[in-house]
């Protein structure tokens, strides 16, 4: 077993999942302002360390993705944030892309940037304690999109990123997110997501990536947020599994879904059914941002010093997701 494979399994095994707390300052400002909390470095740290020091970390969370600001912060408990996360048994990770910019040649689409100077930045993050990383490519669906250009360019960037990350002894999360925005059908989402994931692995293989040391972070197969016709959770699970079985090489140890705008319970229910029907060798778990933090953030915003109340809500959410990652969740457990 390679060292990279060991790290990936440490993050994903036993129903554990990933807390995606890597919102950029821009996104975090939107989240905090939506609950009327000023977005200062101190408040961003306070919310995040409230989660990172909760008891649920030990039982449910295998990895935490951080943003550059947070990995460099020291917690109010006088330890660095990566130390606080490692103490709970979880692996510290870091988002290393520098965001999605307009794609020259196809102005309605995005290309994720951040390759320049990446090798040096990775060495620094490794020193700070990171053992895995994230890079998100983003694709929108319409009649024309995603274009071949966007699929090719983003897949190529994901592969070059992955090569540099593995060279530095860390596990790359490869995140090609096909957005829920739009009124497309689930079938269209299935077709476009399949094409995107296939292209990503073609590029990863050309770039000689050790696939046993990669975590894929895809979207689930859903109808667009504005679509008239939604599909059931059973259908989401079946289509998502079909898409992954057809397009992900079996050497990949695990898949950690993004929540992408689903509610907390939707994201949990869909993951649970994916695991109930999982007839693959892939570990299927979560790497949720909003679907792990939304309720906790709302509660915290009313009294930012109520640490134990906020942690209780976070622990419950992480517990539900971890049950779903083992196919052991049920709706009744939500209210217990």
Which residues within the stretch 209-228 sit at the binding site for ligand 13P (CB under 6 A)?
none
| DSSP codes of every residue in 22-62 | ---HHHHHHHHHTTT----HHHHHHHHHHHHTSTHHHHHEE
* Residue 32 binding ligand 13P, by CB under 6 A: no
Question: Which of 145, 138, 166, 207 shows the shortest CA–CA distance to 7?
Answer: 166
Nearer to ligand 13P, 93 or 205 (CB): 93
Distance CA 274, CA 254 (A): 13
175 is catalytic: yes
Nearer to ligand 13P, 129 or 260 (CB): 260
3-state secondary structure 243-266: HHHHHCCCCCCEEEECCCCCCHHH
Distance CA 241, CA 230 (A): 18
Distances (CA, A) of 288 to 87, 110, 123, 267: 21, 22, 26, 9
Which member of 110, 217, 264, 269 is catalytic? 217
Max intra-chain CA distance, the chain: 53
Which listed range, 79-87, 112-120, 192-200, 254-262, lies at the site for ligand 13P (CB under 6 A)? 254-262
Question: Which of 201, 212, 205 shows the shortest CA–CA distance to 176?
Answer: 201
Which listed range, 184-192, 198-206, 241-249, 282-290, lies at the site for ligand 13P (CB under 6 A)? 282-290
Give the residue, chosen from 125, 132, 190, 288, that forms a contact with ligand 13P under the rule CB under 6 A.
Answer: 288
CB 179 within 8 A of CB 139: yes
* Residue 260 binding ligand 13P, by CB under 6 A: yes
Give the residue, chosen from 168, 258, 296, 297, that forms a contact with ligand 13P under the rule CB under 6 A.
Answer: 258
Which listed range, 107-115, 188-196, 257-265, 272-280, lies at the site for ligand 13P (CB under 6 A)? 257-265
* Residue 100 binding ligand 13P, by CB under 6 A: no
Q: 220: which DSSP letter?
A: P
Which listed range, 148-156, 229-237, 256-264, 276-284, lies at the site for ligand 13P (CB under 6 A)? 256-264
187 is catalytic: no
> Going residue by residue from 290 to 329, which x/- string records binding to ligand 13P, judged by CB under 6 A?
xx--------------------------------------
Give the residue, chosen from 137, 224, 253, 289, that forms a contact with ligand 13P under the rule CB under 6 A.
Answer: 289
Question: Which of 224, 115, 140, 232 shows the shortest CA–CA distance to 180?
Answer: 224
H-type alpha helices, 129-232: 148-167, 186-206
Q: Collect all residues with Cβ–Cβ distance below 8 Å to 87 and sequence separation of at least 6.
A: 79
Which member of 23, 49, 175, 264 is catalytic? 175
Give the residue, chosen from 7, 9, 11, 20, that forms a contact with ligand 13P under the rule CB under 6 A.
Answer: 20
Residues acting as catalytic residues = 175, 217
Which stretches of the chain bind ligand 13P, using CB under 6 A? 20, 136, 175, 258-260, 288-291
């Amino acid at each position: 077993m390679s060292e990279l494979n060991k790290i990936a399994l440490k993050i994903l095994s036993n129903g554990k999942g990933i807390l995606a707390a890597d919102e950029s300052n821009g996104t975090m400002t939107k989240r905090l302002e939506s609950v009327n909390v000023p977005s200062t470095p101190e408040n961003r740290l306070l919310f995040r360390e409230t989660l990172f020091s909760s008891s649920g970390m030990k039982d449910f969370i295998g990895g935490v993705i951080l943003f550059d600001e947070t990995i460099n912060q020291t917690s109010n408990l006088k330890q660095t944030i990566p130390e606080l996360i490692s103490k709970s048994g979880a692996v510290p990770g870091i988002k290393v892309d520098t965001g999605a910019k307009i794609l020259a040649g196809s102005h309605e689409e995005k290309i994720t940037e951040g390759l320049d100077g990446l090798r040096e930045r990775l060495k620094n993050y490794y020193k700070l304690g990171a053992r895995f990383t994230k890079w998100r490519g983003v694709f929108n669906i319409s009649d024309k999109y995603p274009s071949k250009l966007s699929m090719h360019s983003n897949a190529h960037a994901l592969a070059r990123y992955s090569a540099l990350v593995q060279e530095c002894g860390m596990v790359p999360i490869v995140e090609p997110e096909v957005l829920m925005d739009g009124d497309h059908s689930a079938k269209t989402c299935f077709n476009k997501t399949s094409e995107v994931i296939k292209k990503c692995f073609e590029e990863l293989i050309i770039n000689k990536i050790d696939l046993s040391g990669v975590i894929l972070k895809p979207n689930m197969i859903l109808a667009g947020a504005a679509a008239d016709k939604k599909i059931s959770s059973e259908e989401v699970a079946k289509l998502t599994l079909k898409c992954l079985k057809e397009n992900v090489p079996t050497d990949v140890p695990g898949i950690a879904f993004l929540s992408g705008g689903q509610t907390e319970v939707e994201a949990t229910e869909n993951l649970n059914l994916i695991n109930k029907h999982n007839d693959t060798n892939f570990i299927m778990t979560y790497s949720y941002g909003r679907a792990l933090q939304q309720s906790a953030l709302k509660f915290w915003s009313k009294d930012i010093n109520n640490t134990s109340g906020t942690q209780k809500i976070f622990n419950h959410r992480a517990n539900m997701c971890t049950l779903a990652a083992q196919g052991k969740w049920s709706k009744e457990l939500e209210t217990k």
